[in-house]
Amino acid sequence: MTTMGKVGSLSKLGDLRRLLRYVAPYRWSLIAASLLFLLSSGLFLAFPAISGQLVNSVSGMALPFSPGEIMLALVIVFVLRALVDIVSQYLLNRTAESVTLDLRSDVYRHLQKLGLSFYTARRTGELVSRLSSDVTVVRNALVNNVATLLSNILSVVGAAALILMVNWRLTLVVLIVLPAATLIAVGYGRAIRPLSRQVQDKLAESSSVAEEAISGVRVVKSFGREEYETARFETAARATFRAALRLATIRSTFGPLIGLMFFFALLAILWFGSQEVSAGRLSAGDLVAFLLYGSIIAGSVGVLAQIFSQLQEAVGATQRLFEILDTPCDVCDSPHARPIGVAQGRITFERVSFAYESGIEVVRDVDLDIAPGEIVALVGPSGAGKSTLFNLIPRFYDPTGGAVKLDGVDLREITLASLRANIGIVPQETVLFSGTVRENILYGRLDATESEMIAAAQAANAHDFIVDLPQGYDTPVGERGVKLSGGQRQRIAIARAVLKDPRILLLDEATSSLDSESEGLVQEALGRLMQGRTTIIIAHRLSTVQIAHRIAVLDKGRLVELGTHNELIARDGLYRRLYSLQFALPDEDIGALPADQTDSVLFGSPASPLQYRA
């Protein structure tokens, strides 16, 4: 075996041991089910022997039992076996579902711990596929097959021992087939494993395509791309089909080939056994018993071959699951992290730099001190680093250089739970969950009272429209809040933040895509929310810029200017040049145009500067 092969084998053994740890808490149920399966197999092994005695009895041999008594014994054996199988199947399925729950919960729990960098590199459909289909594959292969494996091994060993007692010459015919069947099983296993992994990967890819198209159905329909998305999904589905067909081709030939080998072995037994009966060395009943035992061996080996095939498929699914579980948490609590209470709200960036996986720094040596209760607007052209700086505050990412501090303490020395308990975020694109209005607002603080929830909704200018909904606060909002307007979604998001009562507020300006009426209500609600809180705003509109105490101007990842609107206009810097360029004004007229009636592409909004030149 090559070094690579040894490493692969060790890896598979390690994965198997990890899987068995999920079974360990339910080992007594599994042991009981296995023992019952063994009892069932033993009862089944009695069938050929009793049947042989029935044939001998009918053929006139002197036996201590009558044919009727032997038939009664067969009935008792099969009824007892059925009862044993009922209990064992229940125990086995209960164990299987418990292991599935634990494995799926562990994977999902770990997914919740992973940072945003993990999700930016993966698609939602792929992760959902791993949680669903991969766990199911592992469940079926690991738990369902454990007792079946033991049962069929006992059947093969027990039947082999019994046929050896009946006639050792005929036993040699069966034993010749077993090594050949084993070699075939090993060969098929090596072919099945990579194909199974490929099928799971293709299935995850097609799930991702479907998830993207369904979640973005409005965009699909607005561009009339239904046929395009259908073709895209069919392409992914056909790739899954081709991979599954290759796997099915191998799987479909595996069992029948093993069965064919044993069929020829049974023919040889039948021919050679007939010779033994003619020579008087074997009774007709013993030949029947031998043939039945041979059938049991053939059937059990066929089942073992299928189990072996399924275990190979589970190896691929297991590796995909453990890839998630083994993904290190890039943003997590350090061993010496400590919780904090209610923060004062001072945020300090000390020579902060950040680079994504590409290694290209998108933030470079930023120094910025934000006082408690201060409102700071982050402005700059697209790609300036505003969102990156924004995301460093709740530790969605950690800086690759320098430090971000809260009240003088490095964020990496504060527990994530206590840090984020002090932070409220109102994003530009509001995300609501597919529950009720009540559930979405209470997401801000799960233990809030009814009166606190209503007060938060009133502060967010949301209460009036909520009570007019068909079921009031218990009205379902639909997936991602599709049953509500953009302004209504934003006000629910603000109510959620009000209920949380954070010391620090992060706003990715929430009004840039709203109509005038909704914008006014949201701005009023945001004004209440910002009172007394340290607030950092990614600004898209000059009206928002001018309510800030200070404006931080970013360009190519660097903080190039800092000051109030009037101070920055008074300078001959980037802010003044962008302001001038936006409105196509000469220097002497800069500042004459009211800021609250304009949008700025220079601050990231979709409006064109040309529309203001008229």
- Asked whether 508 and 390 are in contact (CB, 8 A), the reply is yes
CA–CA dist 86, 80 (Å, integer): 10
3-class secondary-structure state, position 376: strand
Check: CB of residue 588 under 8 Å from CB of residue 414: no
pLDDT band at 6 (very low <50, low <70, confident <90, very high): very low
Residue 371 has pLDDT above 60, yes or no: yes
Q: Which of 137-141, 200-204, 348-352, 438-442 has the highest mean pLDDT?
A: 348-352
Query: Residues of the chain with pLDDT > 70: what percent?
Result: 76
The model's pTM is 0.68
* Domain map (residue ranges) of the chain: 12-325
pLDDT at 414: 92
The pLDDT of residue 609: 28
Distance CA 334, CA 302 (A): 52
Cβ(493)–Cβ(556) below 8 Å: no
pLDDT given at position 541: 63
In sequence order, the β-bridge partners of residue 359 are none
The mean-pLDDT minimum among 51-65, 379-393, 437-451, 545-559 falls in 51-65
CB environment 386-411: b (16+ within 10 A), e (fewer): bbbbbbbbbbbbbbeebbbbbeebbb
- State the average pLDDT over residues 391-419: 91
**365-379, 450-464, 514-528: least confident range:** 514-528
> How do residues 107-152 score in pLDDT, each as one tens digit?
888 888 887 778 777 777 777 777 777 787 777 766 667 667 777 7
Predicted local distance difference test score (pLDDT) of residue 370: 93
What integer is the mean pLDDT of 501-516? 73
Could you list the active site residues?
Answer: 509
pLDDT tens-digit map of 261-309: 767 777 777 777 777 777 777 777 777 777 777 777 777 776 776 677 6
Phi, psi of 552 (to 5 degrees): -105, 115
Question: Which superfamily is assigned to 12-325 in CATH?
Answer: ABC transporter type 1, transmembrane domain (1.20.1560.10)
Strand 401-406 to 409-410 pairing: antiparallel
Q: CA Rg, the chain, in Å?
A: 35
pLDDT digits (tens, 9 = 90+) for 25-50: 888 888 888 788 778 877 877 776 66
Highest mean pLDDT pick, 47-56, 206-215, 260-269, 454-463: 454-463
